[in-house]
Structure 1
Amino acid sequence: MEEARSRRGYVPVLVGKGKEGMEKIWVTIKAIQHQTIVELLEQSAKEYGYQNGLLKITCDADKFKAILHNIYKK
């Protein structure tokens, strides 16, 4: 069964480097507003411009998950 298209209180974000290595990670709305995540989004926007569709962050997926883990445990 396909993953739910939307989750209440979450935002899907494509994270990774290069088109092949992108992973969809569901991020809480609260975490998406965290300064570190905002900075990563701004960095990606500077590098690739603003685009329609899913939010994209150019960051290693495992590193991003570690950042989220630290945000969630606080």
Structure 2
Amino acid sequence: MEEGGSRRGYVPVLVGTRKEDVEKIWVTIKAIQHLTIVELLEQSAKEYGYQNGVLKITCDADKFKTILHNISRK
């Protein structure tokens, strides 16, 4: 699958705490609905407001990947 393309069943999310550290992470539709991810999205919306385009989460990318891994194991 191409980096710039879309993936069926996934949503691209920009994750990072600083602009230079932002990473695009593909999240499954199922995981994006998980309470922990929803809370992170709401937290980012409160901090930056709702914006058009790609979803953004203010969180360390490695920590976010760990959260996704733990969600997928359950």
Settle same-fold status: TM greater than 0.5.
yes
Question: 5+ unaligned residues in a row in structure 2: which ranges?
Answer: none
Shift of 1:31: 0.1
TM-score of the superposed pair, with normalisation by structure 1: 0.95
User: In the TM superposition, what whole-angstrom CA distance separates every residue of 1:2-50 from its partner, at most 9, and x where no partner exists?
Assistant: 5151000000000001111100000000000000000000000000000
Count of aligned pairs: 74
Instruction: Please report the RMSD computed on the Cα atoms of aligned residues, expressed in angstroms.
Output: 1.3
Comparing both structures, which one devotes a greater share of its residues to helix? 2
CA distance in 1, matches of 2:10, 2:3: 13
CA distance in 2, matches of 1:4, 1:51: 20
Q: Letter of the 1:46 partner, please give it.
A: K
> In the TM superposition, what are the counterparts of 1:45-56 in structure 2 within 5 Å?
45-56=45-56
Question: 5+ unaligned residues in a row in structure 1: which ranges?
Answer: none
TM-score of the superposed pair, with normalisation by structure 2: 0.95
CA distance in 1, matches of 2:4, 2:55: 17
CA distance in 1, matches of 2:18, 2:3: 23
Q: Which runs of 4+ in 1 moved over 2 A?
A: none
